[in-house]
Structure 1
Amino acid sequence: MPEKPGAKGQAAKPHHHGHRERLRERFVQTAGTGMPDYEILELLLFGTIPRRDVKPIAKELLRIFGGIGPLLSAEPEQLHRAGCTEATIAMLKATREAGLRLLKGEVMQRNAISSWQALLDYCHAAMQHNPTEQFRILFLDRKNVVIADEEQQRGTVDHTPVYPREVVRRALELQASAVILVHNHPSGDPTPSKADIDMTRQVRDAAKTVGITLHDHVIVGRHGHVSFKGQGLF
Structure 2
Amino acid sequence: MRLRVEQKGASGLADYEILEMLLFPGVPRRDTKPQAKALINSFGSLSAVLEAPAAALKEAGVGPACVRLLALMPEIAEKLSTPQTTKRADIGKWDKLLTYCHTAFTGLPAGQLRVLFLDIKNHLLADEPVMDMPDKTTKACVADILKQALAHNASALVTVRLVSDGLSRAQQMQKDIPFVQALLKAAPLLALDVHDHLVMRNGQWLSFRTMGQDEW
**TM-score when normalising by structure 1:** 0.45
- Write 1 or 2 for the structure with the bigger share of helix: 2
**TM-score when normalising by structure 2:** 0.49
Higher relative contact order (CA 8 A, sep 6+): 2
**Rg larger in structure:** 2
